[in-house]
Amino acid sequence: MSADMIDIASVSGPPAKKSRIPLLFFAFFAVVLTANGIMIWIALSSWTGLETKNHYLKGVDYNQTLQDVRNQEALGWTVQTSIAPVVVPNGPLGQFEVVLVLTDPADTAISGARVEVRLERPTHHGIDVRATLTEIAPGRYAGQVDVPAAGQWNLRRLVWSGGGTHQTVERVFLPPEVFE
């Protein structure tokens, strides 16, 4: 052996350390994938399936929708609605009476209209209810509706009279006490 050559076996020193970088790399991606998995599970378990049906056709008909809104505003009708629980001892729970008062711009009652109300659950589909109201006095319409659950509902009011159409939506809260 020449004097310039070093015997590696004879050189002593600290043992070689293993790098932690691969371990940190895999730990980082394990955390990311676990978080993604949890988020996917939450999204899939909480999705109610609500979506817009016929979204393309609604987009194509949007100008007609805007014209319908202008026509409704030109009518100047006023719609006032009240919803109250119907309490019958030992009777069914979740019954409500809906009363709708319909007037024109001169505050004259509008008679002979066809009136429908719909209670639509904003977060769940399949439990929406509807009722056709009957005229009980000039411009005053009433009917009962059986609601399956308490909470937030959208009260959609649809009125057809003399070639005019009126549609409004109002958020209502139905208290849980009525369902107990």
Predicted local confidence at residue 28, as pLDDT:
97
Edge-first strand order for the sheet with 140-146 is: 78-85, 95-103, 140-146, 129-137, 114-120, 151-161, 164-174
Predicted local confidence at residue 47, as pLDDT:
72
95 shares its domain with 163 = yes
Q: Is the pLDDT of residue 51 over 80?
A: no
Residue 9 is assigned to a structural domain of this protein: no
Q: Is the pLDDT of residue 152 over 60?
A: yes
Residue 36 is assigned to a structural domain of this protein: yes
> The pTM is what?
0.67
Predicted local confidence at residue 38, as pLDDT:
97
How many independent structural domains does the chain possess? 2
160 shares its domain with 111 = yes
Percent over 90 (pLDDT), the chain = 47
DSSP letter string, 57-80: HHHHTHHHHHHHHHHHHHHT-EEE
Q: Is the pLDDT of residue 85 over 70?
A: yes
102 shares its domain with 173 = yes
- For range 22-45, the mean pLDDT: 94
Sign of CA dihedral 106, 65, 141, 138: positive
27 shares its domain with 101 = no
- DSSP code, position 125: S
Residue 102 is assigned to a structural domain of this protein: yes
Beta bridge partners of 168: 157
pLDDT in tens, 104-150: 999 999 999 999 999 998 888 788 999 999 999 999 999 999 998 88
CB atoms within 10 A of CB 115: 23
pLDDT in tens, 96-106: 999 999 999 99
Mean pLDDT over all residues of the chain?
86
127 shares its domain with 165 = yes
98 shares its domain with 135 = yes
Residue 112 is assigned to a structural domain of this protein: yes
Structure tokens given for 126: 């399949």
Query: Domain containing 89: what range?
Result: 55-179
